[in-house]
A and B are shown apart, each in its own frame.
Chain A
Amino acid sequence: MTRSRITAVGLMAAAALTVTGCTAADAPSDGPVTITFWGSYGNGGNSTQQDALNELLIPAFEAEHPDIHVEYVDIPYDSLLQKLTTSAAGEELPDLVRADLGWVPQFAELGVLVPLSQEMEDFDELADATYPGVLATNLYEGEYYGLPLDTNTRVMVSNQAALDAAGLSAPPATFDELRSLGDAVKGTGTFAFAENKLQAWNIMPWIWSAGGDIADPDLTTSTGYLDSDESVAGIQLLVDLYVQDAVPNLIIGNEGATATSDGLPGGQYATILDGPWMRGVWSGQYPDFDPVYSTVPAGDGGSVSVVGGEDIVLTQSSENKEAAMEFIRFTQSEQFQIEMVKTGQMTVIPEFAAQQNEIEPFYATFATQLETAKNRLAIPDASKVDAILQEELLPAFEGTISVKEALANAAAAIDPLLPGAK
């Protein structure tokens, strides 16, 4: 064999390998296939979740599936979206991504995600086991592009000392009680309630609890929903409290105001809405602070909060889709869900909730809140919706226009972004 022939054969072999590599998912190959999984479990220097994944869960999965090797790559949350965007543009995404639930429709629209409801035979079975509000975050144009991985929601967190000073024994449970807290703190230098921004994550609990919504269920119009009397009532509560100095200007986006994470333990803010991760933050920074957790104050629509968390998605560029789907199934297992509960993640499967609350009674309030919690608009332009809310609601807080007008303006700007209207 001449040298050039050897090279030619070698090249053909390499080409054949590449071609078969694409279909390796269908036929099990000899060596173990490697699937790559991107996430931000280790965000904020918290290594417990990453350790549980790398040292317990992935080895357990690999022991059961000797032909699959899972490589987890931790990426800081702040740079994950940008990395995903550039990787999507270069069509070099990993097999699996732990995606913020707001990103799923955005990437589904780009066509880089595999519709799991089409590709996984047992999808319905897995999906039915999860919380509906959490599952809904994966829905885009009739197909589900992922499965819930972990979840959270916002509940009311109070500083008991600040409540005591205002003469309240328990956190405000209704809109009216929050209004009375606003009156009680007048002139004390304490704020009744503090909020970071005016995005959907921040204001939707108030709109839903008041009985309003941001759009109709079919996502065809925001006008008539976001500017309904119920929605107005939810925002009016915040504006009224803001005007009487019971809510700080942090809510309109003042980056110089004291953050809720410092203002609440410091007693400057009596109540905030926040997620389960704050316990870890406070236990490190304010070990003496004993936060009180309660459900979101109820309005005419009840006590309804917003769903947060992450989904696991499979990308179109994955060369080992079957292996990757096998790992997705594993993430829905009791072993995976409960092990992650121990590291501070809430389970997406209501069946495990009791077990979760036993391991960590602290989660009980969040689990209760999750039963009614809703998802924000699952549309590719969700980030535009946030910018619109932030911009259009500002004049209502500054008192230049009414809440009704502001919400009508926001609704008009959101209308063309809805898939049903396009």
Chain B
Amino acid sequence: MTILPTPLAPAGRAPEQDSGARPAPRRAGRSAVPFGGHRRARHSRKAARAKLTPYLFLAPGVALFAVAILYPITQAVNMSFFDWQLIASATSEFVGLGNYVRALQDDRFWLALANSGIYMLFTVPPQIVLGLAVAILLKKRSPAQPVFRALYYLPVVTSWVVVSLLFKYLFADAGLINFALGDLLHVTDGATSWLANRWTALIAICALGVWKGIGWSMMIFLAALQGVPRSLEEAAIMDGANRWQQLRAVTLPAIWPAMLFVVVMLVIGGFNVFTSVLVMTGGGPGGQTEVLLTYMYQQAFEFLDFGYGSALSVILAIVVFVLAIVQLRVFRDRSGEAYA
């Protein structure tokens, strides 16, 4: 039973090997053409130009990256070491790590960081599980499939501000959620003030994050699922694997790189939560639902304390960077196991 996949696997890869092998003789043929002296010179000029080509193609992107991303990042890091004065002609006082020390002693910063972390923890797993589930359901060809794909993807391309307002009204005291839970299902008394309390407000904000994000992870998983070799799935069925076993032993290992990508991106995205909090609670009540980016925004753009705001965003960048490295390590080890 267990031997079945083995002979099938190379057969499945056979066409790839074929196509990979085909250009080889052509290359050999070309290199066989004899060169004269000046032809060689022209060839080397051509070669030099050919070498330059990829860099020319890269140049616009790199330039844009340097101007729009790299420069602001270095500026922000620079600003974080100063008591930054907004006006260019004013002198900013160098405070060294002062802004960072201030952050570590700032209870509001820790509350905001905790809220960002909670948001990440409660939105990433549901987006992965539900996104994968929807992708598996939508993988099967059916006439309605494109419609469902579009429907699930719709929240992803909808403006954050619009859906945040929508969820704000859904979770309002006299909103649809309270009506459904109270009058329809009689689970609660229907008088929950969702946005008046830290934890219930975070539930509402997380619900929005999950709802808006499922479509995105679904799209990535759908693409990855197309690449799962049919033969492996068939072999697993022949082996008598049930759906769960198929998923665990065949599908998941095959889409592992996509999973890694989704997890890393979602964790980064989770820590970057901003618009939904700003629109739904404004960080309230009394700053209880402030997340790191709304707190940074308040410090920089309301209090005009750009030095401290920059320090907060650098801290966020470091947290996200470290988390991404850790994830890549953990996943590399796991993926090694999965394929072993």
Name B's interface SS: loop
Q: Which residues of chain B from 168 to 218 have a CB within 8 Å of any chain A CB?
A: 168, 171-175, 193-196
A256 touches B194 (CB 8 A): yes
Interfacial residues of chain B within 127-145, with CB under 8 A of chain A in the complex: none
Q: Does A186 make an interface contact (CB < 8 A)?
A: no
User: With A256-B173, A258-B174 in contact, is A112–B87 under 8 Å at CB?
Assistant: yes
Residues of B within 8 A of A88 (CB): 86-87
Give A369-407 interface residues, CB cut-off 8 Å to B: 381, 383-384, 387, 390-394
CA distance A43 to B302 in the complex (A): 20
Interface residue B125 (Cβ < 8 Å from any Cβ of A): no
How many residues on the A side are at the interface (Cβ–Cβ under 8 A)? 28
The answer to whether B301 touches A254, judged by C-beta atoms less than 8 angstroms apart, is: no
Which of B241-249, B284-292, B317-325, B326-334 sits within the interface?
B284-292
* A253 close to B (CB within 8 Å): yes
- Would you call A254 and B193 a contact (CB within 8 A)? yes
B172 near A256 (CB under 8 angstroms)? yes
Q: Is the CB of A257 within 8 A of B86?
A: no
Contacts of B175 in A (CB 8 A): 256
B121-161 to A contact mask, C-beta < 8 Å, 1/0: 00000000000000000000000000000000000000000
* A59-102 interface with B by 8 A CB criterion: 82, 85, 88-91
Please judge, given known A-B contacts A110-B86, A253-B285, whether A387 and B298 are in contact too, CB under 8 Å: yes
Contacts of B172 in A (CB 8 A): 255-258
How near does chain A come to B162, taking the closest CB pair, in angstroms? 16
| Chain B residue at smallest Cβ distance from A390 | B286
Given A112-B87, A258-B174, A394 and B196 contact (CB-CB distance below 8 Å): no
B284 touches A390 (CB 8 A): yes
Consensus secondary structure, chain A interface: helix
* A residues in contact with B282, CB < 8 Å: 253, 255
Q: Which residues of A contact B101 (CB under 8 A)?
A: none
Q: Which residue on A lies nearest to B169, using beta carbons?
A: A256
Report the minimal beta-carbon distance from B201 to chain A, rounded to whole angstroms: 8
**A111 within 8 A of partner (CB):** yes
Known: A82-B301, A381-B303, A387-B298. A254 touches B90 (CB 8 A): no
- Does B280 sit at the interface, judged by CB under 8 A? yes
Most buried by A among B88, B280, B288, B304: B304
Q: Judge whether A252 is part of the interface by a CB distance below 8 angstroms.
A: yes
Q: Roughly how many angstroms separate A253 CA and B289 CA in the complex, as a whole number?
A: 11
Given A252-B285, A253-B285, answer yes or no on A258-B87 (Cβ-Cβ < 8 Å): no
A257 near B173 (CB under 8 angstroms)? yes
List 10 A–B pairs whose Cβ atoms lie within 8 Å, in order of A's numbering: A85-B86, A88-B86, A110-B304, A111-B87, A252-B285, A254-B173, A254-B195, A257-B172, A387-B298, A394-B285
Binding site for B on A (CB under 8 A): 82, 85, 88-91, 106, 110-112, 198, 249, 252-258, 381, 383-384, 387, 390-394
Extra contacts besides A110-B90, A249-B193 (7): CB < 8 Å? A88-B86, A89-B87, A91-B89, A256-B195, A258-B172, A383-B303, A394-B286
